[in-house]
Amino acid sequence: MFYPYGLFYDSSMLILIPAILLTLYAQAKVKSNFEKYLRVPTRKGYTGAQIARMLLDQNGLRDIPIEMARGQLTDHYDPTKRVLRLSGEVYQGSSVAAVSVAAHEVGHAIQHANKYIPLTFRNAVFPIARFGSSAAWGFIMIGLLVPHLGALMDIGILLFAAAVLFQLVTLPVEFNASSRALELLDNNGFIYSNEEKKGAQNVLGAAALTYVAAMASGIAQLMRLILIRNRRR
């Protein structure tokens, strides 16, 4: 007989181990690279906010404001309010890490302005994915606890799959933003020494790895849920 606690303790947990290890590695990589290149100044000496402003203006996005956000690595572009937010270390800093992150967020703003198809699709999927990620486990647990409502688990799995789809489509969006960032920084001479270029690549590459890890975790969890459902039946 299958018991609900098996959702947490059964042998299917093994499916999650590689994804968990990748997630831990990605988090450590991001932290170490960001902190390392936060101490490496650029020769130009522009702050992340100055770089972002110049790149936005250069691409006809003068109406997008730049705000300072609280916390570390909280940098993001908000497509709903059309505002770019940078953490204090990035906003005020002139390090390789600061300008790389700032340029990456500008990359997202340019994607939005150019109606970059993967970003447009991700924004369309986001409301469903947000609902799916929050509601999925409720349906799944009810389906496990109440045998004759087992169909609810299928609904939960479909909702969870929508969240995984969002993570999947996030990958090309993030990789493209990083590619744009490196090109913008290089073409404008904001980074030009080999050390600066390598640093920017390492910072943005480590950040991209976190999205790969998130997708891997989502897929692994989805596979595990399907396995549990099939075993239960």
- Give catalytic residue positions: 105
Task: Specify whether the CB–CB gap between 184 and 103 falls below 8 A.
Answer: yes
Where do we find the tokens 């090109």? 183
Q: How far apart are CA 90 and CA 196, in angstroms?
A: 16
Contact between residue 106 and residue 57 where contact means Cβ atoms under 8 Å apart:
no
Q: Which residue is listed with tokens 């969870």?
A: 160
Structural contact between residues 43 and 193, judged by C-beta atoms closer than 8 angstroms:
yes
Task: Measure Cα distances from 152 to 141, 147, 165, 200 in Å.
Answer: 9, 10, 20, 46
